A = this chain, B = another copy of it.
Amino acid sequence: MDRLNSADIDRLDTDDPLRGFRDRFVLPEGVIYLDGNSLGALPRAVPERVSRMLTDEWGRNLIGGWLKDGWMDKPLALGDRLAGLIGAGPGEVAVVDTTSINLFKLLSAALAMRPDRRVILSNPENFPTDLYMAQGLIEQLGGRHELRLVPETGIAGAIDEDTAVVMLTETNFKSGAVFDMAAVTAAAHAKGALTLWDLAHSAGAFPVDLNACGGDFAVGCSYKYLNAGPGGPAFLFVASRHQADARQPLTGWLGHADPFAFQTDFRPAEGIRRHVCSSPGVIGLVALEAALDVMLDADMHAIRRKSIALGDLFIRLVEQECPDAGFQLISPRAAHETRPWGRGSQVSFAHPDGYAIIQSLIARGVIGDFRDPDVLRFGFTPLYTRFADVWDAVQQLRAVLDADEHRDPTYAVRAAVT
């Protein structure tokens, strides 16, 4: 393969059909932000939309905002808007609570739908909070269930007649490897098990297609590739065929069939609303609303194509510019434009000096992040990451290594003042 130079990179940006989207985000001068897989950047429209909600809705309409400004409808209205990004239909998604809490709800529902089965199947590489929530639920249910952890490559083969639910994060948070959702779901269904997908690193990163894959339940967050801000509202998905049977224990008043009747006994609403519990946090929801406006203007397949190109370029440039530097690619090398996806929208390398290298990069304005024990993560958000950012990031990486900055004990000080 020919060596790439910066002119090649300029051409990639010039030809990028998504290049206009970067202006719709706030990105600080002098920073190359490759951590949108942890917290997405601020969409320019968010402050204005939030300000309008505060001043024109809350400030002017007070309690009337719940109806006049549609606050009460937002969990389901935003769910319907978000549905298209994850391959769900109308009425299958609600925006509510947090990813972990939604996981608890739907895991409870799934176990209750498979009362004769004992096993929640997951993988040790799963994001820990998902495992912790399962453990909390199992303890509460009296310990008769088992959280069985099987390495991700062995999941499909480990599903058996005792598996109640296969609970997986579609995209591995460390490696960026993506499960074959269609294959795993088919394997689960073949054994009578249900699936619960955590889409934290998938939603907004590539076209998720829950219904085409036969997905049963899913949860996800809005603050990574959906750019709704730190701790932004989460979502949940229940396939319409399960909605009548799916009961969960967090039965708050907004999940009641008739919330304003103020009856003494809970009676679940029809459909997805039974999984909404409490009065929704409107300020966070309107931030998501404005962020979704940006995302929904883009073609998700174009996002996917650019995401693959950015990641491929990053891998190629690291190997070209920093050969023999000790980086080991732990992300799948191959991403696919169609299922199975292979790699999500991040690239991770292992390196024995990983922590120091990331700190040195941050000191130079290149924001990636580090995960124990030795993983450097770099996320690519096609709506605002340019090919030139990838080029510049790798140049900075080479500069760190050339100057041995990561071996300089003051790197932590430099990083802290950045």
Q: Restricting to A113-155, which residues have a CB under 8 Å from any CB of B?
A: 124, 127-129, 131-133, 135-137, 139-142, 149
Give A255 to B101 CA distance when docked, in angstroms.
Answer: 13
A55 at the interface (CB under 8 A from B): yes
B372 near A135: Cβ-Cβ < 8 Å: no
**Copies of the polypeptide in the assembly:** 2
A5 at the interface (CB under 8 A from B): no
Residue of B nearest to A280 (CB): B231
Give A168 to B223 CA distance when docked, in angstroms.
Answer: 36
Give A253 to B282 CA distance when docked, in angstroms.
Answer: 24
Give A135 to B266 CA distance when docked, in angstroms.
Answer: 7
Residues of B within 8 A of A279 (CB): 98, 221, 223, 230-231
Residue of B nearest to A108 (CB): B140
Residues of B within 8 A of A229 (CB): 54, 58, 282-283
B100 near A278: Cβ-Cβ < 8 Å: yes
Closest Cβ–Cβ distance, residue A303 to chain B (whole Å): 20
Q: Restricting to A226-255, which residues have a CB under 8 Å from any CB of B?
A: 229-234, 248-253, 255
Known A-B contacts A62-B28, A97-B97, A281-B284; A263 and B128 likewise in contact (beta carbons under 8 Å)? yes
A71 at the interface (CB under 8 A from B): yes
Known A-B contacts A129-B252, A372-B261, A372-B262; A26 and B283 likewise in contact (beta carbons under 8 Å)? no
* Among B33, B131, B140, contact of A266 (Cβ-Cβ < 8 Å): B131
Given contacts A46-B54, A131-B266, A231-B281, 5 further A-B contacts (CB under 8 A): A58-B229, A98-B278, A100-B250, A100-B252, A230-B280
Some 23 contacts from A to B, beta carbons below 8 A apart, are A26-B55, A26-B59, A39-B62, A41-B62, A42-B54, A51-B51, A58-B230, A62-B367, A71-B230, A100-B252, A101-B252, A128-B256, A128-B262, A129-B278, A131-B264, A131-B265, A132-B265, A133-B250, A136-B248, A136-B249, A221-B279, A230-B283, A232-B283
